[in-house]
Structure 1
């Protein structure tokens, strides 16, 4: 997570300040994290998956490609996840349809 924050920090324009929205995952709240000065962290409230569209993508994966399966080993898990990701991204507009919130878009 630290390297991720540092990479985001480097991509922000000199005169700008970035805000990163995070859920309550343990690695997001680690006391060892050093948040760069040009970034702020905004934590989502607990138990609010409706505010985190990524949760819907994970749910779609579990329901559509990864449910009710037994994996032989770690490599099989990684292969199944890669296959699921490739299938999802091959469907034009699917991520947008899963992650878009009508109440969060302008003009609707």
Structure 2
């Protein structure tokens, strides 16, 4: 989860000013949806070479 949050902050929310609380929610949801639209992003983010069983 921490890695996912770091990616969202770095790619979508860094150096951003928000108008109000609703703007924070809206932009966070947009970032989340953008991340989900990238095929294999979460799998690649969470996978580790050493964790695969042969």
Asked if these proteins are the same fold (TM beyond 0.5), I'd say: yes
Alignment partners' CA distance in 2, 1:61 and 1:105: 26
Q: Which has the larger radius of gyration?
A: 1
Q: TM-score, normalised by structure 2?
A: 0.89
Structure 2 gaps, min length 5? none
The correspondence for 2:40, drawn from 76, 93, 105, is 93
Structure 1 gaps, min length 5? 1-53
Aligned positions, number: 54
Map 1:22-61 → 2, pairs under 5 A: 54-61=1-8
Residue of structure 2 in register with 1:73 after alignment: 20
Alignment partners' CA distance in 2, 1:87 and 1:60: 11
Residue of structure 2 in register with 1:4 after alignment: none
Larger helix share, 1 or 2: 2
What does the per-residue CA deviation read over 1:21-47, in whole Å, with 9 as the maximum and x for residues that have no partner? xxxxxxxxxxxxxxxxxxxxxxxxxxx
Greater relative contact order (CA < 8 Å, ≥ 6 in sequence) = 2
